[in-house]
Amino acid sequence: MSEAAPIPELCAEPERAEELSARLEAVRKRLRAAAETAGRDVPELIVVTKNFPPSDAAALARLGVRQMGENRDQEARAKADLLRAGGGEQPQWHFIGQLQTNKAKSVVTYASVVHSVDRAPLVTALDKAMGRALQEGTRSGLPETLGCLVQVSLDAPSASGEAPPHRGGASGEEEIEELAQRIADAEHLSLMGVMAVAPLGADPHQAFGQLAEIHGKLVKAYPGAAWISAGMSQDLEAAVLQGATHVRIGSDVLGPRTSVR
Ligand SMILES: *Cc1c(COP(=O)(O)O)cnc(C)c1O
């Protein structure tokens, strides 16, 4: 086997790699402390690399990060393809953003899990895309089923009476249950659990408490749906306290996102 030539886009400056290492360690420490306070297992860390270059993702992979999150298909796919070309241990990619049905075909070529399943047509599109990818061999090295989480829309504070900013997701027991059922019934999808973003201005403890309650009901019907994907840089501790099994951390590992999108 010949050594592949290093890909310039995957080479981070040594100072940047050191910075990422220090920030990553600080976040891992916070996670361990939060888990200890909560008396829970340390949740899985998904590092959200959106808006940061492939070289950062490659540096994080070398630092042992095995779970990475992205929220836009084009950027995610380019990064995943580059890292694959670079060889070595590959991260699992978690798709965490609003997803158009016409992007399903692309997403299944690199994603192991989609956290943002928020409507029935997306379930259909993902299942169909998975079927085709398996047939055409465009999913090599990835799990034979696509992990899916029901994205739940949590109540925003409504003291002002204004409509809360919509952050996506299914709401109401019936809608959530129906989506879960569709995922569970789909041939090439696996129902992994629920995901949510705390509404702006909401108390994250209350929001994630609500998510835990929703999850508790769901997991009775679907014992395999064990994941609670909750918690970002700002509200990691609250999420862990409320039972998050997977946290999605971007800026506290990579720094502030400056590029416009
Ligand atoms: C960007 C993003 C994150 C990470 O947010 P940070 O505040 O940078 O930690 C987590 N979840 C979703 C859905 C995101 O879009």
CATH number of the domain where residue 206 is located: 3.20.20.10
Q: Is residue 27 part of a domain?
A: yes
Per DSSP, the residues of 20-57 read: HHHHHHHHHHHHHHHHHHHTSPPPEEEEE-TTS-HHHH
Index of the ligand 1 atom closest to the CA of residue 50:
1
Distance CA 8, CA 14 (A): 14
**Pairwise CA distance, residues 184 & 187, whole Å:** 8
Provide the 10 A C-beta neighbour count for residue 117: 29
How far is ligand 1, taken at its centre, from the CA of residue 96, in Å? Answer: 8
Q: Tell me the CA–centroid distance for residue 232 and ligand 1, in Å.
A: 5
Q: 169 in a domain, yes or no?
A: no
- Nearest-atom index, ligand 1, CA of 233: 9
What is the whole-number distance in angstroms between the Cα of residue 162 and the centre of ligand 1? 24
Angle 245-121-106 from CA coordinates, rounded to 5°: 75
Return the C-alpha torsion angle 40, 42, 43, 45, nearest 10.
Answer: 160
Q: Classify residue 168 as exposed, middle or buried by CB count within 10 Å of its CB (0-12, 13-18, 19+).
A: middle
For residue 195, give the ligand 1 atom closest to its CA: 13
| Separation of alpha carbons 113 and 108, rounded Å | 9
Residue 189 covered by a domain:
yes
In a domain, 101, yes or no: yes
Nearest CA to ligand 1 atom 13: 96
Ligand 1, CB cutoff 6 Å, lining residues? 48, 50, 71, 96-97, 197, 232-234, 248-252
Q: Would you write out the chain's pLDDT as a tens digit for each of its 261 residues?
A: 445 678 999 999 999 999 999 999 999 999 999 999 999 999 999 999 999 999 999 999 999 999 999 999 999 999 999 999 999 999 999 999 999 999 999 999 999 999 999 999 999 999 999 999 999 999 989 999 999 999 999 977 665 555 555 568 999 899 999 999 999 999 999 999 999 999 999 999 999 999 999 999 999 999 999 999 999 999 999 999 999 999 999 999 999 987 544
Three-state DSSP state, 178: helix
Contact (CB, 8 A) for 31 and 240: yes
- Looking at residue 261, what is its pLDDT? 44
Predicted confidence at residue 159, as pLDDT, reads 57
Closest residue to atom 1 of ligand 1, CA basis: 250
132 inside domain: yes
Say what angle helices 173-185 and 204-221 make with each other, to 10 degrees: 50
Beta bridge partners of 93: 68, 111
Given this model, what pLDDT does residue 260 score?
Answer: 47
Residue numbers of the domain that contains 222: 10-158+177-254
CB atoms < 10 A from the CB of 111, how many?
A: 28
191 alpha carbon to ligand 1 midpoint, in Å? 22
Please indicate, yes or no, if residue 233 is contained in any of the structural domains. yes
Total residues found in the chain within this entry: 261
Residue at 168 is within a domain:
no
Residue 180: count of CB within 10 angstroms of its CB: 24
C-alpha closest to that of 43 among 239, 252, 258, 250:
239
Cα(106)–Cα(77) distance, rounded to whole angstroms? 8
- Strands of the chain (E only): list them: 44-48, 67-70, 92-95, 111-117, 146-151, 189-195, 227-229, 246-249
- Provide the domain count of the chain: 1
- If you measure from the C-alpha of residue 249 to the centroid of ligand 1, how many angstroms do you get, rounded to a whole number? 6
Distance CA 237, CA 248 (A): 12
pTM of the model: 0.95
Examine residue 5 and state whether it is found in any structural domain, yes or no.
no
